[in-house]
Structure 1
Amino acid sequence: MIRMSLRQFRLSALAGAVLLTLATVYLLRLGGATHAARLPADHHQTMLFLAGGSGLVPAFIGAFWGAPLIARELETGTHRLVWNQSVPRRRWLAVKLAVVGLASMAAAGLLSAALTWAATPVDQATGDRFSTVMFGARGIAPIGYAAFGFVLGAVTGLLLRRTLATMALVFLAVIAVQVAVPNLLRPHYLPPERATVAMTADAINRARMLGGITGGPIIGGLEMPDAWITSTSRLRTADGRVLSDAAFDTCFSHAPQTGATGTFGDIAVCLGRLDLHVDLAYQPNRRFWPFQWIELALYLGAAALLVAVGRWRIRRGTFS
C-alpha cells in the first residue's frame, strides 16, 4: 500500500519538489542579502509579499494534493481494485493520508524554515512578527496549516467524490479559514495585556485611520513597540467617557486653521487639545512562540477531527 501510494503520488511530488527547490534557493539567496544588509528594513516590502504568497501554500496543497487523492479514485473506480485485494478500507485511507500528509507537512516546514531564516534580520529591525500576514509565514505554524489543508482536501474529496468541485471548494475554504483564524481566534489565545495611551496631536498623526465609515470618535492603525495591538477603544475623555460624536465631528469638519502639518494636520491639533486617550489590548512579541505552538496544535487538532470524519465515512458509506 505504501509503495502504491508513493507511485500514485510521484508526479505531484515531483512538481512540488521542483517548486520547493526553486523557492528554497531563492530564499537562501535573499537571506544572504538580508543578513548582510546595513538596513534590513529595506527588505520589508519584499518579505511582506513573500509572506502573503506563502499563505496560499496550504490552499494549493489542499486543492492539488489533498482533493484529488481520494476523489479521483472514487470518480474513476480504481479504489475497487485495492479493496478487492482484501485491503481494509480504513487502512487504505490511513496509508494515503499518512504518505501524502507527511510530505505536505515536510514541504511546508522546509519552506517556512527558509523564509523564517531569510526574514530574521528584517523582523528584528521592524518588530513585525505578530501581524496577520507575517505570523502565518514564520515558525512552525505553517506545518499545521499544511496538514489541515491537505486533510480537508482529502476528506472533502471522500465526501463529494468529484475532483474538480472538491479542488475549487477546498481552495476557497482554506483561504477563508486562514483569514478567519487570525481575526477571530488568534487574539484570544492568551489574555491580552492592556495599556492606556494619551492621544496627543503627535500620537494622532501617527495613526493610519481616524473616524469610521459612519463617523464617530474612532482611531485605528496605532502601533506599540514590540507588540501586536489586538483592539483599540474609541477616543475617550479624561474622565473615561467616550468622546461625543458632536465634539469629534467639530474637530473633524471644523478644526481651527493652525497651519499644522502631519497626516491629520489641524484635526489632530484640535483633538489633541481635548486631553484624550485610548485603551489598548495587545499581545507582546515575547509570546510569539507560545502562540506558534497554540496555532500548530489548533490546526493539527482540526486535521485529526477531519481524519476521524473520513474514517467514519469510509467505514459506513457505500462506494459503488
Structure 2
Amino acid sequence: MIWLNWRQFRLQALVGALGLALVAVYLLYLGMDIRDAYDAYRSRCTDPAGCAQASSQFQSAYRNTLLFLAGGLGLIPVIVGVFWGAPLIARELEFSTHRLVWNQSVTRRRWLIGRMAFVGVAAMVMTGLVALLLTWTASPYDQVASDRFGTVEFGARNIAPIGYAFLAFTLGTIVGLLVRRTLPAMAITGVVFLVVQFAVPNLVRPHLMVPEKTSLPMSAQAINQARNLGSITGAPVIGGLQVPGAPDAWISRTSPLRTADGRTVGGSTFNECLNSPPRTGAGGTFGDAAVCLSELDLHVDIEYQPSSRYWPFQLAETGLYLVAGAFLTTIAVRRVRRA
C-alpha cells in the first residue's frame, strides 16, 4: 500500500517539495533582512519620540510583505483540499480504477485509510513547515507590531495552519467521495473551505473563550493612538485601540463613543468635532479633533482577550479543525462501504 500510494502521489509530492524549498529560501532571506532592520530600529529607539518614529518606519517597511505572505499561507490549505484532497478518491471513482484495488485482498476501509493517512500527513507536514518558517521570519516584526491576534496573522503563525491543512484535505476527500466527479469536487471544496476560513475567525474565534471587559477613557492621547476615527456612515466609532499596558491584547468588540452616563454620543456632536473642531494647534494623528472629543468626557466599552491567551487560542482553534477533520474522516470511512 505504501509503495502504491507513493507512485500515485509522487508528482504532487515532488511539486510540493520544490515549492517548499523555494519558499524556504525566500523566507530565510527575508527573515535575516528583517532582523537587520530590527537591530537598526533598536539602535534608534533611545527616546519615546525617536522610538515611535523608528517603530513606524520598521513596520511600514514590512507590513504589506508579511501580510501578503500570511494571505498566501492561508491559501495553501485551500490548494491542499482542492488538488490533493478532492481528486484523491473522486478520480478513482470517476474512472473506476478503484475496482482493481477492491478486488484484491485490501479492504475498502484499509485502502481509504491508507490513502488518506499518506497524503494527509504530507499535507500537514508541508503546511506546518511553511508556517514555522513564516513564524520565525516575522517574529521581530510581531514583537514590534503587537498584532499576533490579527485575523490574517493568527491563522498564518505557529500550529494553527496544520489544523487548517488537515481539515481542508479531509473536506476535499469526503466531497470527492460523495460527488464522485473530480472537477465538481474540486470546485465545491475550494468554495466551502474559503467560507470556513472567513467564518471561523469572525464568528467562532471570538467565542472560544469568555472575553475580559473594561472601559477605556478617551483622552486626546488615547484617541491619537487609535488607527481610525469615524466611519463612512458618520457613526461615532473609533477603531484600532490598544489596552493600556497590554498592546498585544486582542480587542474583539468596541462600543461606540459614549458619554459619562453611558449614552452614545450624538452624531452631530461627534461630526462637529471631527470635521470642524476648534483650532488649538494640537499635534498627533487626529490633532484638534482628538482635543475636541476628549473635552466631552467620553469612553468606550471593550471586550478583549489578554495576550496570555494567545497559545490557548492557538491550541483551541487547531483542536477545533482537527476534531472536525477527524469527524469527516469517520464519515468517509463509513461511506466508502457503499461507494
5 Å-filtered alignment, 1:19-98, equals 19-37=19-37, 38=39, 39=41, 41=59, 42-98=61-117
Match of 2:50 in 1: none
5 Å-filtered alignment, 1:72-151, equals 72-151=91-170
3-state DSSP of counterpart to 2:216 = strand
2:306 aligned residue (275, 279, 284): 284
Match of 1:275 in 2: 297
Structure 1 CA distance for aligned equivalents of residues 74 and 251 of structure 2: 21
User: Following TM superposition, by how much is the alpha carbon of 1:206 offset from its aligned partner in structure 2, in angstroms?
Assistant: 3.2
Cα distance, 1:204–1:125 mapped onto 2, change above 3 Å: closer
Deviations 1:235-254 (A, max 9, x none): 11112222233433443455
Structure 2 CA distance for aligned equivalents of residues 112 and 295 of structure 1: 15
Say which is worse superposed, 20-29 or 30-39, in terms of deviation. Answer: 30-39
Structure 1 CA distance for aligned equivalents of residues 180 and 200 of structure 2: 28
Structure 2 CA distance for aligned equivalents of residues 210 and 34 of structure 1: 31
* Counterpart residue type for residue 2 of structure 2: I
Structure 2 CA distance for aligned equivalents of residues 164 and 200 of structure 1: 57
Structure 2 CA distance for aligned equivalents of residues 33 and 255 of structure 1: 43
Match of 1:160 in 2: 179
User: Following TM superposition, by how much is the alpha carbon of 1:299 offset from its aligned partner in structure 2, in angstroms?
Assistant: 0.4
1:247 aligned residue (260, 266, 269): 269
Structure 1 CA distance for aligned equivalents of residues 231 and 22 of structure 2: 44
* Counterpart residue type for residue 110 of structure 2: R
User: Following TM superposition, by how much is the alpha carbon of 1:202 offset from its aligned partner in structure 2, in angstroms?
Assistant: 3.4
Match of 2:219 in 1: 200
TM-score scaled by structure 2?
0.87
Match of 2:15 in 1: 15
Give structure 1 stretches of 5+ with no counterpart: none
Structure 2 CA distance for aligned equivalents of residues 252 and 124 of structure 1: 32
Number of aligned residues: 317
* Counterpart residue type for residue 29 of structure 1: Y
Say which is worse superposed, 40-49 or 304-313, in terms of deviation. Answer: 40-49
Say which is worse superposed, 119-128 or 8-17, in terms of deviation. Answer: 119-128
TM-score scaled by structure 1?
0.92
Give structure 2 stretches of 5+ with no counterpart: 42-57
Say what the alpha-carbon RMSD is for the aligned residues.
2.0
Structure 2 CA distance for aligned equivalents of residues 122 and 249 of structure 1: 35
Structure 1 CA distance for aligned equivalents of residues 332 and 232 of structure 2: 45
Structure 2 CA distance for aligned equivalents of residues 267 and 35 of structure 1: 37
Structure 1 CA distance for aligned equivalents of residues 205 and 271 of structure 2: 34
2:238 aligned residue (219, 223, 228): 219
User: Following TM superposition, by how much is the alpha carbon of 1:82 offset from its aligned partner in structure 2, in angstroms?
Assistant: 0.7
Deviations 1:46-79 (A, max 9, x none): 2222111111110011011111111111111101
Identity across the alignment (%): 57
3-state DSSP of counterpart to 1:62 = helix
